[in-house]
Amino acid sequence: MRDVLLDGNKRRDIVAARVNGKLVDLSRALEEDATVEPVTADSPEGIDILRHSTAHLMAMAVQELYPGTQVTIGPTIEDGFYYDFAPKAPFTVEDLPKIEARMRELAKANLRVERIEVPRDEAIGKFQAMGERYKVEILQDIPEQTVSIYRQGEWMDLCRGPHVPSTGYIKAFKLLNVAGAYWRGDEHNAMLSRIYGTAFASKEALEEHLKLLELARQRDHRKLGREMGLFLFDPLSPGSPFFLPRGAIVYNELIVYMRRLYRRYGFDEVITPQVFKNDLWKTSGHWEFFRENMFLTSDEESAGAEPNYAFKPMNCPGHTVIFAAEKRSYRDLPLRLADFGRLHRNERSGTLHGLERVRSMAQDDAHIFCTPEQIESEVDLNLRMVREVYASLGFEAVEFKLATMPAEHMGSEEQWRENEAKLGNALSRNGLQWEENPGEGAFYGPKIEIYVPDALKRKWQVATIQLDYNLPERFDLSYTTAAGSEARPVMIHRAILGSLERFIGVLIEHTGGVFPFWLAPEQVRVLSLSEKVEGYASEVAQLVKREGFRASADLRNEKLGFKVREAELGKVPYMVVVGEREAEARTVSLRMLRGAKNEAMSLEGLVRRLKDEPLPG
């Protein structure tokens, strides 16, 4: 098959083949007539194979350089790969250049990559003899009686493949970072050393990716958050951000914006408790499916037994209480309840990451109770909201996925498939391109997942629209139909920004901290050139404040260049410079964070300019 697929200069462009739709090694022999398609190095499947092969190359280099190191798993991930090792001493970033240099030598050696299929028990014996106890543990969990091993030179690893034909195919790669990781992700297991890397089909693609990574480091929301004075974290409350005054402005302005949309789209806001008795969580199913992620607590009634209360990780069960609090008619539906209530989730400490993975959060959360006949129009309405919000926030593209039934779920498979079809039809009916995300639905129902690509070409899952027949059933919710009979409502779960904390982190990195004018924590800063004009500078700042804008005056005895740099670091969109000439003429010199500089105008002209800034919603 290899001779058929590889032709002249194209030889290194093809890394594997698809035989009757299945990815296989180029060396795999054809045993019958089949449809054969080449897999090029720059295709999504080809890049994945390159990265998986590079992970093997890295593991080989590591074991040659650090004898006694055991290997565990080395999967591909988005934009790269990692490999977890059990070394005698943890790896550090200082080890990476040495490992990378050895990888280049092994790639240059063009070692043949060979697939060998052996009985599982034989493989267990091989890896036991090598002292690879983690590989033995993996093999013992494999039900198949035959397994595949990939060998390059004298080194081998357990793997399903496929892989590149030889190490010479691996040209463009880079090791990026090291981290600790528990074996099998369980904090009770041994801590391993994880090395991250990436690989591409060409050096040009790798260089472009590394430039984006450097830009991402510069835009890291944790770095910019400190520089802009938006938020902080403290070990006394791990995973729970402290929003400082400037950060609180951004937080609250997003809520104000969403509240304006709620009024326009017909949502009613409610406030619900943060702590509920376990009875609620047992009825909702969270006790069964989500308990390990909940913070539990007790009152005097528990008497030292099992905690009898829990902080809410989600708003939906509390909203069922509101629905059930009075008798409902079909005339009351759809009932759209929105809630910015604080949520708490007991995320593992190793998964916490700035604002993007926290334990304490609020969502722009809403739940719609409707009749089955209203499902289509309600999903349409929320899809319109999604598109409006993300367009106004500067995200040029929105992508949609349909997350389907997970392994652990409530309700029957038949009900799930019916609901999945309804959401898929809604996406298609609205002219939206979408793809399926198998097994990623919530435990109570399928969901539409909305992704936004940011300025760094990364995709973030933000909004969700979820269809749920199970919670109304579990809470025995009902409404009176037009015929006078009782019927079960349908519940739609919906968040557009999602976690406000996470969204702010995404927005910081997307914009580099340069928020839309309406969202900037400080919109105008007046910069005085000398002590003689401090009074006028303060007057200008007060005028702008009276007009409803967020403004301050920098009256420090510093050079203008220093003040400008400080304002630029704070991402202040309007810098208003005033000196003796401006004070005498009652004008200002306007300097923009991005765009025209030193534009002279009257005070009235400045106010008009500010009022012309676009507002969302």
Residues identified as active-site: 316, 345, 363, 365, 367, 447, 493
Residues 6+ apart with CB under 8 A from 110: 166, 167, 168
Which residues lie across from 194 on neighbouring strands?
Answer: 84, 179
Taking alpha carbons only, the member of 430, 427, 383 closest to residue 403 is 427
Say if CB 351 and CB 315 are below 8 A apart. no
Structure tokens belonging to residue 3: 């001779």
CA distances 294 to 41, 125, 278, 346, 349, Å, are 44, 43, 11, 5, 14
Residues 6+ apart with CB under 8 A from 516: 392, 393, 394, 614, 616
Residues 6+ apart with CB under 8 A from 474: 283, 284, 285, 410
Residues 6+ apart with CB under 8 A from 342: 274, 360, 361, 362
Alpha-carbon distance of 329 to 484, in angstroms, equals 9
Dihedral angle sign, alpha carbons of residues 380, 395, 267, 417: positive
Question: Please, is 400 exposed, middle or buried when counting C-beta atoms within 10 Å of its C-beta (0-12, 13-18, 19+)?
Answer: buried
Taking alpha carbons only, the member of 152, 200, 192, 174 closest to residue 49 is 200
Residue 374 has phi, psi (to 5 degrees) of -95, -5
Alpha-carbon distance of 56 to 376, in angstroms, equals 49
Number of H helices, E strands in the chain: 19, 32
Alpha-carbon distance of 339 to 360, in angstroms, equals 15
Alpha-carbon distance of 166 to 156, in angstroms, equals 13
DSSP 205-258: HHHHHHHHHHHHHHT-HHHHHHHTT-EE--TTSTT--EE-HHHHHHHHHHHHHH
Number of alpha carbons in the 13 Å side-chain half-sphere of residue 21: 0
Start-to-end CA span in the chain (Å): 59
